Structure formats: C-alpha cells, structure tokens
Amino acid sequence: MFNLTNVVMEMNGEMDANGGRRTIMQIRDLKKVFNGTVVAVDGVTFDVYEGEIFGFLGPNGAGKTTTISMLTTLLRPTSGTATVCGFDILKEPNEVRKRIGVVPQEYTADEDLTGYENIMFCADLYGIPRRISRERADELLRLVELEVAKDRKVETYSGGMRRRLELACGLINHPRVLFLDEPTLGLDVQTRAAVWQYIRKLKEEYGMTLFLTTHYLEEADALCDRIAIIDHGKIVKIGSPKELKDSLGGDVIELGVQESDDDLTPLISSVQHVKEVKRVSPSEYRIKSELGEVTAPMVIDALRSKGYRVNKISLTRPTLDQVYLELTGKSIREENGDRTQAMRQRMIMRRARS
C-alpha cells in the first residue's frame, strides 16, 4: 500500500564497525538502584541497530521493565548513559519521547472511552494536528483490525483487542523505535500469533526498530534478530538466536552401536565438526557437534569403514529454552503460569474500578 523503499534516515545514528549497521540506541553502563538497596539494573551496556527486532529476555525481576522505563525516559538512571535516536535520555528527554512509541506491560487504554477516542487522545498528546491524526487513526485501526469496534467503549474489548489498541496507540506518532513490554502476555495462542503478525507488518510498513521483552522463547527465537538475556540486572549473553544456540556447543547426536569393548571415542572425535564425545554406556555415545545434520552421516560412515555398525541415532538441536536455562538457571516454562495469573489479577483490579 505504501511505497517504503526509500527509507530516509536521520543522520544521528552512528555507523557500526561490524556489518555497517546503524546504531539507533546506545546503552552504556546503565544502572538503576531503588531505595539505595535494590539493584534492579546493574550496569548494562549494549547497542541496538536500526531496523532490527531486539529481544530482551530474562526471568521475573531481572530488570527488563526497569531498563525499558529508563530508555523511555520514565525513570531516571542512577548512573550511566543512553542515547535513543541520537538523543541523550537525560539531556534531551523530550526529543527522545517524540521519536519513540511505548506499548507498556499493562493495558493503559481508558476504559470509559471508545477505541477511537483513545487513539485520538494519544495523538493529541503528541500534538499531531487533527487532520493528520484522524487519517492515521483510521489507518492504524484498519491495520490492527479494530475498525468495527472503534466506537465501542474499551471496557467491552477482549484482551486481544486491548493489546491491538495499545499497539495502535503506540504507533500514532510513527515512532522510529517501538518499545513493547511483553506484548503477548496473557493472550491465547491464536491471538499471540495475530499480534506478532501485526508487529511484523508494522515493522515492514514503517521500517521501525523494535525493542521488546517476551517470555515466549519460541517467539523470540522466530522473530528477534538479536536477543539479550538479562538476569539479576546484568546482561549475561547477547547475540542472534542462532549464535546463542550455537554457544551451547551445537547439536547433540546420540549414537547406539553394537556392544564392544573397543572405545570408539578417538575415532568419533576425529570426524570433522565433532567437538565433544562422551561414552555414556559401552554401547552408547553422546556427541556434541556443529552442523549436526552433516556430521551425523559422516560419523556413521567413519564407524562403518572400520567395521562398526550403528543401530540407533538421534539428533537434537539446542533450543533457546536450553540456552535460557543454562544461563539463568531457571526454566521459563515454570514462570509462565505465575505470570498469567498476575496478569489476571491486574485485570480484575482494573475491572473493580468501573
């Protein structure tokens, strides 16, 4: 619908040495201490590149929301600096605010107003002239498929509709960076998929940079260009999903051979790509390797050529779950139940108001 080939960028991003990507956010040793004792964010340093989807992963209380709050100028860092779109979050917060959109963890739309009124309210906060904001509101409502419901009060909206409305509100100023704090929390699988589809569409249509936190690792894996895993306020790992998974030492090949007294470990180790071999039992080996799908047949060939027969083989690729577990010591699955519950409570409290 729109011609988006010409992306004119403001000249305040810096060229990055590796890959020539433009840096849109620079975070340097950012730290937040609450009440002098609670260290919520403990000196994080990273860059976010223009046009990427950057995911922030971490267990409850890791400091994700606090980081987003500082980058969106809601919280004053205890120390450290950050620039967003080339503007210092402390020195020129208003310039930052003009260029970002925020979709917070909670539903913040006004229940007593209609969807359309909510969007127009956001537009007015950015000082967008009416004639433009009306057009944009229609366009965004169409994008998130809320046209039919736009004149209904938000209190009649379902969770998914509210999320979509929040998305639309966060986009009204056509931000260069959109911050999403757990955009799919508390939504069912279908709605989650739909929200992600919108987010992808938005990124393509507006060429935005997305900074998001999520607890759904499959989503982070599938959508994010890069991921930072944060725990206890510190970034423990940063990289593309593939890099993170590779950091686990690659794929795991489990091999069953005919029982024999010979230790086949040296033989298997000599195969290309194999990184680590462990004899689990006299007839079973556990191999860590890169490019498992290529290595496995080579291992079989190597064994066969020496007269050993392989009678069982399995290949497991590392998942982001395993990475997360290894780095934070917590399984993300255990947490999701609690979180959905917390979200419910929040919704109930909100209802009690009306």
Partner 1 sequence: MSDLTTAEANKNLVQPAGGIPAPGDKSNSTIISSSPYHGLWALTNRELKKWYKNPVILLLSLIQPVLWLGLFGKAMNFGAIFTDGAFSIPGLNIPKEIINQLGTMLMLNVFGTTDYFSFLAVGMLSFIVLFTAMFSGMSIVWDRRLGTLNKVMSTPVARGSIVMSKILSSVIRSLVQASIILVLAVLLGMNISNITAIGVLGTFASLALLSFGFSAIFLMLALRSTNQNTQMAVVNLLNLPLLFGSNALFPASFMPEWLQAFVKINPISYATDIGRQMLLGAGGMGTLAFDFAYLTAFAAAFSIVGIMLSWRLLTK
Ligand X SMILES: Nc1ncnc2c1ncn2[C@@H]1O[C@H](COP(=O)(O)OP(=O)(O)OP(=O)(O)O)[C@@H](O)[C@H]1O
Q: Which does 293 bind (CB under 5 to 8 A by kind): Mg ion, ligand X, partner 1, none?
A: none
The distance of Cα 141 from the centroid of its chain, to the nearest Å, equals 24
328 binds Mg ion (CB under 5 A): no
Helix (H, G, I), strand (E, B) or coil at 289: strand
Identify which of residues 103 and 271 has a Cβ nearer to partner 1 in the complex.
Answer: 103
Identify which of residues 135 and 335 has a Cβ nearer to partner 1 in the complex.
Answer: 135
Q: Which does 88 bind (CB under 5 to 8 A by kind): ligand X, Mg ion, partner 1, none?
A: none
Q: Structure tokens of 321?
A: 């779950």
CB of 188 to partner 1, least distance (A): 22
CB of 100 to Mg ion, least distance (A): 17
Q: Please, are residues 228 and 212 in contact by the beta-carbon 8 Å criterion? A: no
Residue with tokens 């609690």: 338
CB of 60 to ligand X, least distance (A): 4
14 binds ligand X (CB under 6 A): no
- H helical segments located in 183-291: 189-206, 217-223, 241-246, 265-269
Q: Which does 15 bind (CB under 5 to 8 A by kind): partner 1, ligand X, Mg ion, none?
A: none
Taking the C-alpha atoms of residue 94 and residue 98, their distance in angstroms, rounded to an integer, is 6
The site map against Mg ion for 156-195 (x = CB under 5 A) is ----------------------------------------
Closest by alpha carbon to 115, among 153, 72, 88, 170? 153
Window of 5-13, 62-70, 91-99, 162-170 that interacts with ligand X by CB under 6 A: 62-70
Distances in Å between the Cα of 48 and the Cα atoms of 77, 85, 211 are: 18, 10, 8
CB of 167 to Mg ion, least distance (A): 18
Identify which of residues 63 and 101 has a Cβ nearer to Mg ion in the complex.
Answer: 63
Q: Structure tokens of 72?
A: 């969106």
Taking the C-alpha atoms of residue 141 and residue 17, their distance in angstroms, rounded to an integer, is 39
CB of 6 to Mg ion, least distance (A): 37
- Please report, as residue ranges, which positions from 25 to 54 form the binding site for ligand X (by CB under 6 A): 34-35, 38, 40
The distance of Cα 118 from the centroid of its chain, to the nearest Å, equals 27
69 binds Mg ion (CB under 5 A): no
- Give the count of residues interacting with ligand X (CB under 6 A): 12
Closest by alpha carbon to 122, among 161, 169, 157? 169
The distance of Cα 123 from the centroid of its chain, to the nearest Å, equals 27
Q: Are strands 251-257 and 284-289 parallel, antiparallel or unpaired?
A: antiparallel
Identify which of residues 185 and 252 has a Cβ nearer to ligand X in the complex.
Answer: 185
Identify which of residues 104 and 292 has a Cβ nearer to partner 1 in the complex.
Answer: 104
Closest by alpha carbon to 65, among 230, 255, 201? 230
Closest by alpha carbon to 179, among 313, 48, 335, 324? 48
Contacts (Cβ under 8 Å, ≥6 apart) of 160: 187, 188, 191, 194, 195
Chain residues binding partner 1 by CB under 8 A are 1-4, 7-10, 69, 72-76, 94, 97-100, 102, 104-108, 110, 112-113, 117, 121-122, 124-129, 131-132, 135-136, 139, 169, 173-176, 205-208, 349-350, 353
Query: Among 63, 80, 86, 170, which residue sits at the site for ligand X (rule: CB under 6 A)?
Result: 63
Q: Structure tokens of 141?
A: 């409502």
61 binds ligand X (CB under 6 A): yes
65 binds Mg ion (CB under 5 A): yes
Q: Please, are residues 239 and 250 in contact by the beta-carbon 8 Å criterion? A: no
Identify which of residues 101 and 104 has a Cβ nearer to Mg ion in the complex.
Answer: 104
Q: Which does 128 bind (CB under 5 to 8 A by kind): Mg ion, partner 1, ligand X, none?
A: partner 1
Q: What is the DSSP code (8-state) at residue 63?
A: S
- Please report, as residue ranges, which positions from 228 to 267 form the binding site for ligand X (by CB under 6 A): none
Q: Which residues bind ligand X (CB under 6 A)?
A: 34-35, 38, 40, 58, 60-66
